[in-house]
Structure 1
Amino acid sequence: MFKKLLIGLGAVFLLIIVIGAISGGGSDSTSADEESISGTNEDTAEPATEDAGDTKEPAKEEPAAEESKPAGNTVGNWTILNKPKFGQEYGMFKSVDLRVQNTSDSEDDPWLEIRLTNGNDLVTTFDCIGQTVRPGETTTLECSSLDDFRKFTDYEILNAF
């Protein structure tokens, strides 16, 4: 029973990602592009080595990215309350906690995206999805990426919907 539930939840999550990519992934001009904040990684991390093997020891934490704008900027209906700290674990990007506050007058579901770039190259995207939040309330989103850790220089937080 538990295994079927996990498989079902995984399928729903994958379907949401695919629908999001299809509906907004290829357009040149969306409202999400206009509602974003960005930052840089002053001390860029070294790229993951190809010979990582199957070791299960966590890699050391990489330096945090420095945000060009302070926490407290608004993206869509959400005020960003902390600076994201990017690192690696097991050769992949480590999940990032993003604390947000609903600034709208109605309940809303947080759905944000963090894009890491190296120059003009997209390195990875983090998906940040949460439960319904009432006006004025805060929540912490766990943002995750399934990509291998690589060097990045900048990041941007976008309102996915």
Structure 2
Amino acid sequence: MLPLIQLSAFSHLIGFASLGTLVALFGRFAAPSRRGITVFLCLLCQTATVFLMSLVAWLEVPMVGQLAILALVCGILFYIVNVANFGPPGALIFIFAASVSMGQVDDFSSVIERSAATALAAGLAWLVVMTTEVFRHDTPVAQDWFKGRPARPA
């Protein structure tokens, strides 16, 4: 998908499409029955993060305000990742997407374009994860990663 975006009229969105593909990193250590939903929830978090921080940039919130919102978003993402047990890489990918999305936004259509590019690429990544699931061989390390972890309080 990324080469197609690079060759299209939307090549300026290649970075946001790349952010979408990063959701495939999640769910590696989840039980096979949870992998699909974990990656799908990560798709939603990644897209929402790009949308929110792009919207904040478009609204021309002063940098101090943007950093305060970023800090709040980071805390919320950290909480979601830990409560939902997304596993590695944790909130890092979402926080990276949030900070990248703080760049200059000229109009609201750019907010939508960024979010759409992220969502479409993340959707494709989720589809690849789901269709290649039949070829996956879980190792004992992957199956035991969550065992022995104390339950996190809500």
Give the TM-score taking structure 1 as reference length. 0.25
TM-score normalised to structure 2 length? 0.26
Tell me which protein shows more helix as a share of its residues: 2
Task: Select the structure with the greater relative contact order (CA < 8 A; seq sep ≥ 6).
Answer: 2
